[in-house]
Structure 1
């Protein structure tokens, strides 16, 4: 055992060293930012990474009541970086203390092991994001008031909405280096890279273009559907007979795609078009012009069409596999029936 340990000593900054110690490195960086708050010299710099920036206070003239809203700017990059480090730490904690322990009991193959880890991580994230997003929708009553999708555009961000988007962008950005840290198989990288980039593009687009109300309403049901899928896949790996969750996922998947297209057409085609402000202004956050609306609607429609195409192919593949599995079973039953008939005929003749 001593010789093996000597052979397994890792060279500092080698690939294996970085992979095995990336969570410790991220936690040290997080602690350094938190310790920076304790000293007056470094606090003004550390606060940029930890706290939500660009607070804007409005005071009403009637009773002097103050409302706190948040704009966005370059300092948000520092905040996203900090919470990306936090996401790396949480990823490592879930992997080590939850998923790895379950994997040891299930004794999965390498392929199923990789998919189990992917679904486990995403299930935790989708569950947390769905609960958080649903609580914001309930508190702000966005669902009960569909006009809020385009009324008073550009929308002023409250703290919860901005922090939610910061955490969402940070999580999906952290997923990019995790492809390297988790040693994802080469054949799985293009698929995961594709949906990670789509999440980053759509969430960042909604954040920058001041479409946070629409983005939040579309994200919550989408995350619910993805939660059901990955939870069903986890149950399937533990017991292959548990497949009812996939049926529920398939029904909700189609419904959410229709809901996404309906709300997008309603917002970009009708709502924002009626309150169109021709003064395109990046400083004021006003992007409500025809080219931007067409681009956003086109991006949403293309993404939903691509997802439906992947979904149909997935269902056809499962159906073909089911048919292939049924053919040998029918042959076996037919041969058994023939044998029993022959035995009956012999018994009658005797």
Structure 2
């Protein structure tokens, strides 16, 4: 039984990690850190956890944390992972950073997007980007994982087979994504996140400047074997959770129809239990992946324009955050990837 600690347990990602890990047969949650709820049960933050056998939250302390757990998730926020990971790794612990501190290998890009200097640059080089569909072998050997961003997960899974195929125009990629409000997190009250500001509205934000652009380009470039630039526009929609991504890329004449794209993606993801490539004529819905670690993908060739159109649905709190982190734990600890993650979506 692996003893697990969560730093930042009272945020949305932390709470979702607890929900998944409670059902995991190979782990036990033995340490919960939350400055806001120190000395209180996590059910004070999430009444949905009433009746669960969990340790009390406490203020983070390195010595106590290292004594009580062997594997750590950091879900508190950007800038925290670089501060706490070095000491925990020195104690011989394994560490998954759910926020962005270790995702971007180019530190100038990290500073530009996140507006902070990195205090553990040597660990950025070591960290493995935590997308098991592309990097499972590296993840299995790693002690430090940079969990993927939510938008980045949807975009990369939507584009990776095309980028690897050699049949896509890599200078033509457009990514359009819509996310629920939980992606903004729980810790800061912002007027833009209030019900009256979000309900019955739909808007783009961070146009041509969203932070996840850097990791999308980094990972698609790695798959393609050449530098790739994408135009990425995120949108906020009035629902709690879920991301629907639509990605566009020109393809060459060897792609004759949607069936060719379906076969390309079916083969690419043949051994990936959480990626479901939908039959032609079907489209993904965020409702069908709600509360899960699954990713649903559909393919269409627009023969008039010669563009592949890839639609992809994930839960931003599941495959886009906590579910993916647990999948990474499974790979790191030699569990089956699906352990604790097989429950279907809550429906309707």
TM-score if structure 1 supplies the norm length? 0.25
Answer 1 or 2: which has greater strand percent: 2
TM-score if structure 2 supplies the norm length? 0.25
Q: Work out which structure has the larger RCO, using CA pairs closer than 8 Å and 6 or more positions apart in sequence.
A: 2
Answer 1 or 2: which has greater helix percent: 1
